[in-house]
Amino acid sequence: MVRGTLSAALCIALAATGDLAAAQSQAAGPASAAAGPAGGPTVSILYFDNLAKSADFDWLGIGLSDMLTTDLASSRLVTVVERERLAKVLKEQELQLSGLTRESDAVRVGEILAVKDIVYGSYVVAGSSLRIEARLVDTRSAAVLAAVGAEGTTGEVLGLERKVAAGLLAALEPGAGPGSPTAGTEVQDAAAAYYRGLAELDAGAYQAATAHFQAAAGLDPAYPKPQAGLEAAYRFLKDFKRQRERHEMAAIAASLQRLRSRVEGPFYSFGDMVRRPRDFGFADAQAAYTSDPRGYSGDSPVQAMWNMQMLFLEMGQKAVDYFSETTLADRCDRQILDLAAAAEARYPKDPFLPECLYAALLPLRRESRWAELKSACERLMTGWPDYRMASSVEEMYQTALDKLSGKG
């Protein structure tokens, strides 16, 4: 049963200033500001209440709100109130909105936010079990339109959130299929670190926020929200050099996420998107063409995977050059190797495959993994003797032989 959650959600939201809300909106990514079709439902999602007061999962209060906001907005069927607007309006009405505890109070919130529907809820952690409950309330009548729950283990947070998102979307738009999961990461520890950082950002503890954001980025380099969070934190700290550098890395992470969604979901090419822009949420072909050329590049899954490898290579280099973040660089190298293995396993006949295999040589050489580099070079030279980078492969092969024999 959901109880006392509305007041807790408002208390958290009211703590944020307008500037902090703007930073959070940016950190949450563009999808949190996505608008649905004209005449479609508009909804606001408040922070969830941690009923058991579990310190280890306190991050879920803001995390569930943010992930649900992003997932519902990504459906393009629902307009979701941006974090910035929500925090600004609630802060302006702080005195009038204090002490709200019942479903009927949602009517007042809806009048202030000018939305028809509000989602609020709670979660309970008991040992390794997790129960999430959300309610969709009609702000005009205080009627509960839907109550959606999901139950599982504490290691299944991302999957449980998606079940709740699917239930809410079905209630808001009956007959709609499930939206694309857009939490931004499949690594729960990365999400936890990010939302802990976002809570610190709420509180104005910018240095503490950067530590959490850096941890999240190191766990999943293709997770764009931590990089955007770091950019926002450095802006508040007035460290504009690091703000610019994080802005560059945030752009890379955003492109990586788009490429990953195309590789892991039903694949579509850049040409598909330009030819049918409205199918992908763009007004016209020009908007599609200029949105993110790197994120939407590649005419086949293997080409998209190679583009991911190049972006991981760039991010790893920037991580070292800008911030001496070797952990993030090492994780990028791991992603490059994993992508090469996945490309070969899934698409062994693809003519573009040698490019992915060649990209995997670079981290092996950089990490002095000479035996593995030797084997990888032999694989390329044997399977693709006419490969355009054959001379470079031969040089790396000789280097590996020299190192293994003690000559290098």
Farthest-apart Cα atoms in the chain, separation: 81
Q: Considering only 281-290, 339-348, 399-408, which range has the smallest mean pLDDT?
A: 281-290
pLDDT at position 106 is: 62
Where residue 330 sits, what CATH number does that domain have?
A: 1.25.40
Question: Is the distance from CB of 191 to CB of 63 less than 8 angstroms?
Answer: yes
- Check: CB of residue 108 under 8 Å from CB of residue 70: no
Residue at 280 is within a domain: no
CA distances from 401 to 316, 362, 389 (A): 26, 16, 19
Domain identity same for 55 and 66: yes
**Is residue 295 in some structural domain?**
no
In a domain, 25, yes or no: yes
Query: By mean pLDDT, which of 199-213, 232-246, 263-277, 317-331 is the weakest?
Result: 263-277
Q: Is residue 12 part of a domain?
A: yes
Claim to verify: residue 178 and residue 189 sit in the same structural domain:
no
Residues 229, 147 share a domain? no
Domain that holds residue 222: 184-270
Q: What share of the chain is helix, strand, coil (3-state, %, to 5)?
A: 65, 10, 25
191 and 176 part of one domain: no
Whether the predicted pLDDT of 28 surpasses 70:
no
Query: pLDDT tens digits for 150-178?
Result: 999 999 999 999 999 999 999 988 765 55
212, pLDDT greater than 50: yes
Q: What is the mean pLDDT of the chain?
A: 85
What is d(CA 405, CA 170) in angstroms, rounded to the nearest whole number?
A: 64
Q: What is the pLDDT of residue 37?
A: 53
Residues 264 and 234 in one domain: yes
H/E stretch holding 128: none
Predicted pLDDT at 175: 62
- For 406, counting Cβ atoms within 10 Å of its Cβ (0-12 exposed, 13-18 middle, 19+ buried), the class is exposed
Residue 336 counted as domain residue: yes
pLDDT in tens, 219-277: 999 999 999 999 999 999 999 999 999 999 999 999 999 999 999 988 999 888 888 88
Q: What's residue 105's pLDDT? A: 61
Q: Crossing angle for the helix pair 224-236 and 206-219, nearest 10 degrees?
A: 160
Per-residue pLDDT band at 364 (split at 50, 70, 90): very high
Residue 349 falls inside a structural domain: yes
